Amino acid sequence: KVEWRTCLSSAPGQQVYSGLWQDKEVTIKCGIEEALSSKARSEVAPRRELVLFDKPTRGTSIKEFREMTLSFLKANLGDLPSLPALVGQVLLLADFNKDSRVSLAEAKSVWALLQRNEFLLLLSLQEKEHASRLLGCCGDLYLTEGAPRGSWPGAALPPLLRPLLPPALHRALQQWFGPAWPWRAKIAIGLLEFVEELFHGAYGTFYMCETTLANVGYTATYDFKMADLQQVAPEATVRRFLQGRRCEQSADCTYGRDCRAPCDQLMRQCKGDLIQPNLAKVCELLRDYLLPGAPADLREELGKQLRTCTTLSGLASQVEAHHSLVLSHLKTLLWKKISNTKYS
């Protein structure tokens, strides 16, 4: 039994609820591809279901389904040597009733789940401590750990109003309603570790394409948890989107909200490499998050390191060592301040 509680989403195409399952606080997610208009006829819903659960077709062997899943993962995550292991995980998950065989209905359900970007990411990042754990699924509906606490009081505001808040009010809200500074430092260390996990993990590199404090969540013990993986995208997906895309300026080469690539003015086409790496975007975020209320003896050095970090750019693989160094320095600086205290 699943007990449904509050609706957590403002987007009609993305259904997110808090709930209770096996005495655990959970988040329930299911997608509705078409935002149904008020004039929508009742037969639209069954038709959507037929489209969503159309593969694999009757007569598909388990070997063919395995190959079909491998091709899908290659297209979305890139051609990686670790993918056969992920296919194994998918087939294990597909056996919902644990009878050691995958029925057509089970295969259709897991295929529908794989079409959801966040589900694919949850599967790829299962070993990572900063992504929510996948607890169960049914059809194309899935359950994750309960939503982490929000790190920014303004996150409760409608998205259109958030940019209208003056920066001074952002900082004041953070100081009045956010966690104490040492707890924020602990959450920031977790966020920096998450950036490391996304960079060259077992299933490739991932880009954060909506870097806002609204996505910075944390547990009761102030360990960082990514609140929403919807805007985290595999490198292969972003490159496919940008490849050969027509453009006049770099704004035309934007995936999600802030994964932006340069526009080749001569060819009028987007280039494949992003202008700003994950780390630079996260450091921009941390300036507003960590500098207000920072201890006086740390503020100057912290400000300097965050400024250096926000200027990181260029091809990630060429500056990999530099990125690692900047990230390591930042983590060490914060950790030295809170280690051997109750906050660590």
Encode pLDDT of 22-40 as tens digits. 998 999 998 665 433 333 3
Average pLDDT over residues 276-284: 92
Complete DSSP assignment for 179-244: --HHHHHHHHHHHHHHHHHHSSBTTB-EEES---GGGEEE-TT--EEES--TTEEEHHHHHHHHTT
Supply 169's token pair: 């009010």
Q: Which has the higher per-residue pLDDT, 129 or 251?
A: 251
Band the pLDDT of 336: cuts 50, 70, 90.
Answer: very high
pLDDT at 169: 64
Over 80: is that where the pLDDT of 60 sits?
Answer: yes
pLDDT at 105: 92
Band the pLDDT of 281: cuts 50, 70, 90.
Answer: very high
Cα 82 to Cα 79: distance, rounded to the nearest angstrom: 9
Residue type, 52: L
pLDDT at 157: 53
Cα 139 to Cα 108: distance, rounded to the nearest angstrom: 8
Band the pLDDT of 50: cuts 50, 70, 90.
Answer: very low
Over 90: is that where the pLDDT of 55 sits?
Answer: no
Over 60: is that where the pLDDT of 85 sits?
Answer: yes
**215 neighbors 258 (Cβ within 8 angstroms):** no
Mean pLDDT, the chain, integer: 83
Whether the upstream peptide bond of residue 277 has omega within 30° of 0, thus cis, is no
Please tell me the pTM assigned to this model: 0.83
Q: What is the CB neighbour count within 10 angstroms for residue 59?
A: 7
